[in-house]
Structure 1
Amino acid sequence: MYKKASLVVDYHLNNKIFDINDCAVNRDDYGYSIWLLKERLKAKGYELSTCDINRPSDSELVIYFDYPATGIENPSAINILCLFENEIIKPENTPSPVFDQFDYVFSWNDDYLEKRNFRKFNYTHKLNRPYNFRNYPGFTDRKLCTLISANKMTEHPRELYSERLKAIAWFENNAAEDFDLYGVGWDQFPNDGRLRSRVLNKLAPFTNFMKKSYPSYKGMVESKNQTLRNYRYSICFENASGYPGYISEKLFDSLMAGCVPIYYGAPNVADYIPEGCYIDFRDFTSYHDLYDYLIVASSDEFYSRQREIESFLNSERSSPFEAQRLPELILKCLEEH
């Protein structure tokens, strides 16, 4: 008889979140670590299901992906909170006294690790080692630069959505032939959480004349990895800057495709990723300076960075970002409890 374990999420319910054969759930292997968590827990005697199947009130282990709107439902269970989203997206993920209710809190934020029940974790990825980019499109077969992200916006001093817009505008106005934009919603009004934007999107096509157009927009992608292989560089701006340890999937999407990321986000990214693997946006005073650097960068320099990326991904230094780390951390907590 398996013990019940509940995964509290508000998306991909009815255990859809574990279906690694569903491309919508597991595009670019995003869902692999969650599927692996279910498998590892089963081996330890727990049957993990989404909260609509195994209700938290009936479960011995409850895992929350981001702080739940309802709070803890079963104080007698082992309660683990995983803080994925940045707090500018989910303000409720900002640590507060209510977090003391959880037995363990997983956070990528290095500033929180001295708190009593906090544990360090990272965004994890299925690393298909060994990496060898010599069979990928070469330097001359790749277009210069791309940006893949959703069209979102929020108001916060640390947000980087507006910085992405500046990057898009500069390339469209100054180097359109060297830049492509992909992602969700660039043919709509931005997802800024406002009622006005939602209404305007629902009224399309009657409101199309009101929305901003992006000539560089090429649509959504079925696979980030396959798309990024066609570019030398990608603009990888996190949703926010100034949060130590905040290294989301954006950077690794680019690295795993042999595409050199232009990174802006975690101030201590060099503590985790070798500096030769990426271009630090903070090193440039303007987009013009950045472009001047990219356009004259030689194939030798590009391939040198690819070798750095290969070395990193194939080494133990990338292991904190491997898919199995999430189930390992949770199993370790169960052993300690």
Structure 2
Amino acid sequence: MKSLNVKFIDGGECARAIVLRALSFDYEVREGDTPSVVFFSDDKLAKHKAFRDCLKIYVAIEYNYPNYGLCDYSLGFLPLSTSKNLRLPVYTWEDKGSELVKGENEWKNVIQSKDKFCAFVVSNGNKNRTWKRISFFHKLSNYKRIDSGGSFLNNVGHRVDDKLAFYKPYKFVLTFENQKNPWYTTEKLVHAMLSRCVPIYWGNSRIAEDFNPKSFINVGDFKNDEEAIQYIMKVDEDLALFEKYIKEPFFYGNKPNEFFNIERLRNFLSHAIEGPRNRREFFGYIPFKLLDIKKRIQPYYEKVLR
């Protein structure tokens, strides 16, 4: 088996576990400061620039376009029409696709375990970027208390250490992304699913391409927040309707979607490492900058339209 020296830096560490698993099929991997492959993300310190003569693979944590002036390949949210990119959403990084597959009769025990209304765990309280999430939290709280266990809007007296365990007794979990962007789905939705709660979701307008939309409540499908909240109240009060959500598989056909397939990532990385090196794009920063500008403007634009 070939040896491979790698480095995770500038936030690329977040995808370390799943990347190492994919590489382990073909390489004896060592981590250190003399890498042949660097996995990096968006940390402003940009320490990856110190590593010049190596293959660079960008890992998108936020909703960003890869800067192909700085990297050779990318792992991210966007389904780009280039062989340089592999769509690998954050929600796959914990590699728990099999745990999202529902057992035939598990719903019976799940129903019995749900004796609380709704949970919420977030740390990002940026009012400009996450105003939608904050607003909905307060609106839904007018119906019933939402137990918030994160560092932001905490009302349980402490920051929860085990998010999944915290979620277990709740019927619903508020799983809003920071912003509304197509294909951008983080771990928030999957964490609620792993605890067998009904996610109350908002964010990725194309979420139904990845998950069965009958297994969660998508606030984006309603005319406004008030209509969504009226429906949540209905599901909360109607046991048969709630059971219907609990019985629905998270995936179409109750099988993990393609993005959980480790062979897919293995083949992509093998091609990147063994194939000819891509020429870095001189103007590769332009799509990155344009998307960055859009992200900065979007919260203010959405506030005007609401």
- The answer to whether the superposition gives a TM-score over 0.5 is yes
Letter in 2 for 1:169: H
Is 1:304 the counterpart of 2:244? The answer is: yes
2:210 equivalent in structure 1: 272
2:89 equivalent in structure 1: 122
2:150 equivalent in structure 1: 183
2-structure distance, mates of 1:276, 1:325: 27
1-structure distance, mates of 2:56, 2:171: 44
Letter in 2 for 1:264: W
SS in 2 for 1:72: helix
Letter in 1 for 2:96: K
SS in 2 for 1:236: strand
Tell me which of 218, 228, 232 is aligned to 2:167: 228
Residue 95 of structure 1, CA deviation? 4.3
Q: 1:185 to 1:292 in 2, by over 3 A?
A: closer
2:23 equivalent in structure 1: 41
Residue 75 of structure 1, CA deviation? 3.6
Q: 1:70 to 1:326 in 2, by over 3 A?
A: same
Letter in 1 for 2:259: P
- Between 1 and 2, higher relative CO (CA 8 Å, sep ≥ 6) is seen in 2
Maintained 8 Å contact 1:104/1:117: yes
1-structure distance, mates of 2:265, 2:150: 27
2-structure distance, mates of 1:323, 1:221: 31
2:131 equivalent in structure 1: 162
SS in 1 for 2:50: coil
Q: How does 1:12-31 map to 2 (within 5 A)?
A: none
User: Percent identity at matched positions?
Assistant: 18
1:150 equivalent in structure 2: 123
2:38 equivalent in structure 1: 62
2-structure distance, mates of 1:231, 1:320: 28
2-structure distance, mates of 1:323, 1:219: 37
Residue 250 of structure 1, CA deviation? 0.7
TM-score where L is the length of structure 2: 0.74
SS in 1 for 2:232: helix
Letter in 2 for 1:254: A
Equivalent residue pairs, number:
266
Letter in 2 for 1:126: K
Maintained 8 Å contact 2:203/2:220: no
2-structure distance, mates of 1:322, 1:224: 25
Residue 116 of structure 1, CA deviation? 6.5
Letter in 2 for 1:6: K
Question: C-alpha root-mean-square deviation of aligned residues, in Å?
Answer: 3.0
Structure 1: gaps spanning 5 or more residues: 12-16, 18-30, 88-93, 188-215
SS in 2 for 1:167: helix
Q: 1:329 to 1:283 in 2, by over 3 A?
A: same
1-structure distance, mates of 2:143, 2:182: 32
2:7 equivalent in structure 1: 6
1:254 equivalent in structure 2: 192
Residue 313 of structure 1, CA deviation? 8.3
